[in-house]
Structure 1
Amino acid sequence: MRRIGITGGIGSGKSVVSRLLRIMGYSVYDTDSEAKRLMESSLEVVQKLSECFGRDIYHNGRLNRGLLSSRVFGKSDKIVLLNSIVHPVVRFDFYRWSESLNEEICFVESAILYESRFDELVDEVWTVTAPEELRISRVRQRSGLTEEEIKKRMAAQLSEEEKQRRAAHIIWNDGNVSVIHRVLSLLKSLE
């Protein structure tokens, strides 16, 4: 089994690359959606989050994400605590999931691939990137966040330069180069 990580900053287009791979028949583990699932379905995670951030963050088994966010946003110690609870469980879930596949290659998509130590579980990393102005525009269109809010989120992530430096391959998603062509080329290089 060959495991490949897909990462990129907010608005870079990593989800576009993941969708292309799924259309092509590859399995892709989306850490964001799986973390959300595990934050409600893993008894270990639910118990630890409740103990650390208050039992009221859950109502009828559903996580109140807004309430949890308000308790961790802007508080680096709380973010570290939250990540120390969630990330190990997501990493284990990914590893178990990938081991259950009967495939030669699978992918894991994560905006915080390095920060969550997913890079330790993959054979190589593909970084998706785009110019900052384009990334901001994409995020504004889909989320309604202000430019200032988007830039704060960008600043909280590992820099684009560092992600590119660590990556085995870079996928430019600036609208000028075909992402499909680049993904096909990378897949061919794996053969």
Structure 2
Amino acid sequence: MIKVGLTGGIGAGKTTISKMFKELGVPVYIADDAGKELMNTSAEIRKKIIDLLGEESYNKDLPNRAFIASKVFNDKELLEKLNAIIHPAVAQHFKEWFKRQTYPYIIYEAAILFEKGSQKNFDYTVLVSAPKEIRIKRLLKREDSLKREDIESRMDNQWDDATKRRIADFEIINEEIEDSKKQVVQLNDIILKSAKIS
């Protein structure tokens, strides 16, 4: 079974593109969602995060996401330590999920893929991109009402598209929905053909 890693910067629309693949029948594993779920349910992760960031990290056994974000997004060292707690747990969770899949290929969606050197774990990688201003506009519309400075700070913590483009096997430029759908259908055909050959 082919493994496809899908990534993109904040606001690029990874989840929108993942949903399009899902609609075509492709199993999609969303690493960020799995990480959130494990933060909610794993007592071991909860203890490690409280040890790292303090008691305020959790309210009644649920993560205080605003507090955690405020601590880590301007502190790369702390962010790396937080990722070192969550990422191994997500990797194990993914392995178990992957064993249950039967489709010719799966998509693993993650915000940080190339930054961790994880592309080596996948047969193909896909970069979802969009111009910076479009990404900022999308994020400003989100319910969590981020400020522009917060968005730009988060973008600065991620590699830029030019760097990711040099590593990615494919790119979906996600500006217009209908155009994005066409790109997804084309890429789905390419990967399915590749799965048959292999």
Tell me the TM-score normalised to structure 2 length: 0.88
Residue in 2 that maps onto 1:184: 185
The amino acid across from 2:154 in the alignment is R
Q: Percent identity?
A: 32
Residue in 1 that maps onto 2:175: 174
Structure 1 residues 98 and 76 mapped into 2: Cα distance closer, same or farther (>3 Å)?
A: same
Residue in 2 that maps onto 1:151: 152
Residue in 2 that maps onto 1:70: 70
Q: Is the 8 A contact 1:57 1:64 kept in 2?
A: yes
Alignment of 1:25-36 (within 5 A): 25-36=25-36
Residue in 2 that maps onto 1:127: 127
Structure 1 consecutive aligned stretches of length 4 or more whose deviation exceeds 6 Å:
none
The amino acid across from 2:63 in the alignment is L
The amino acid across from 1:108 in the alignment is Y
Aligned mates of 2:50, 2:57 — CA distance in 1: 7
Residue in 1 that maps onto 2:88: 88
Q: Which secondary structure state, in structure 1, belongs to the residue aligned with residue 103 of structure 2?
A: coil
Q: Is the 8 A contact 2:127 2:170 kept in 1?
A: yes
Residue in 2 that maps onto 1:7: 7
Structure 1 residues 22 and 156 mapped into 2: Cα distance closer, same or farther (>3 Å)?
A: same
Residue in 1 that maps onto 2:19: 19
Aligned mates of 1:53, 1:151 — CA distance in 2: 23
Structure 1 residues 41 and 118 mapped into 2: Cα distance closer, same or farther (>3 Å)?
A: farther
- Superposed displacement of residue 7, structure 1: 0.8
Residue in 2 that maps onto 1:99: 99
The amino acid across from 2:156 in the alignment is A
Q: Is the 8 A contact 1:20 1:180 kept in 2?
A: yes
Aligned mates of 2:26, 2:102 — CA distance in 1: 11
Structure 1 residues 42 and 137 mapped into 2: Cα distance closer, same or farther (>3 Å)?
A: same
Q: Is the 8 A contact 1:39 1:45 kept in 2?
A: yes
Compute the RMSD of aligned alpha carbons. 1.8
The amino acid across from 1:29 in the alignment is Y
Aligned mates of 2:149, 2:52 — CA distance in 1: 30
- Superposed displacement of residue 59, structure 1: 3.0
- Bigger mean CA offset, 168-177 vs 5-14: 168-177
- Superposed displacement of residue 117, structure 1: 4.2
Show CA shifts across 1:58-105 (max 9, x none).
233211122222332322221111111111111221122112212221
Residue in 2 that maps onto 1:54: 54
Q: Which secondary structure state, in structure 1, belongs to the residue aligned with residue 126 of structure 2?
A: strand
Structure 1 residues 133 and 70 mapped into 2: Cα distance closer, same or farther (>3 Å)?
A: closer
Q: Which runs of 5 or more structure 2 residues have no equivalent in the other structure? A: 194-198
Tell me the TM-score normalised to structure 1 length: 0.91
